[in-house]
């Protein structure tokens, strides 16, 4: 499941301009995705039956002068949707999120770090 989610996330990053209105296509130089299974009591979930999570982290780069945060966020969401699709027979009550930007460089807004 994690390997398929990783591939889907990479493909999602490359298709961002087809999915998000007015998002222009970019020549991506790097799309790196890590999918990790988190197991145990460290999860912030009040339901004791949900003690596992999948973390998807995407790093996207381009040589252009624009940011690629939309590509990274799309990658994460497509990866998580793939996990949901492949695991929905086991648990239709899965929760997707939160998804957030960790760091961004380039573009008009400059450098951002959460």
Domain spans of the chain, in order of start: 2-113
For the chain, what percent of residues have pLDDT higher than 90? 69
pLDDT recorded at residue 64: 83
C-alpha span between 44 and 76 (Å, rounded): 19
Of the residues 39, 47, 85, 91, only one is catalytic, namely 85
Provide the CATH topology of domain 2-113: Alpha-Beta Plaits (3.30.70)
C-alpha span between 93 and 113 (Å, rounded): 32
Task: Look up 85 and say whether it is catalytic.
Answer: yes
Written as six digits, the tokens of 67 are 């940011």
Is 46 a residue whose pLDDT tops 50?
no
Backbone angles phi, psi at 6, to 5 degrees: -60, -45
pTM of the complete model beyond 0.75: yes
Q: What is the mean pLDDT of residues 42-67?
A: 78
Q: What is the mean pLDDT of residues 65-76?
A: 93
C-alpha span between 67 and 63 (Å, rounded): 10
Q: What is the mean pLDDT of residues 65-73?
A: 91
């Amino acid at each position: 499941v994690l390997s398929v989610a990783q591939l889907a996330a990479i493909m999602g990053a490359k298709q961002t301009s087809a999915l998000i209105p007015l998002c222009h296509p970019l020549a991506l130089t790097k799309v790196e995705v890590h999918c990790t299974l988190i197991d145990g009591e460290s999860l912030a979930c009040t339901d004791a039956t949900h003690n596992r999570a999948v973390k998807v982290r995407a790093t996207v780069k381009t040589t252009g002068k624009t940011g690629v945060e939309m590509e990274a966020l799309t990658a994460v969401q497509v990866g998580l949707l793939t996990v949901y699709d492949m695991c929905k027979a086991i648990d239709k009550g899965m929760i997707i999120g939160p998804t957030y930007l960790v760091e961004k460089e380039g573009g008009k807004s400059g450098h951002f770090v959460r």
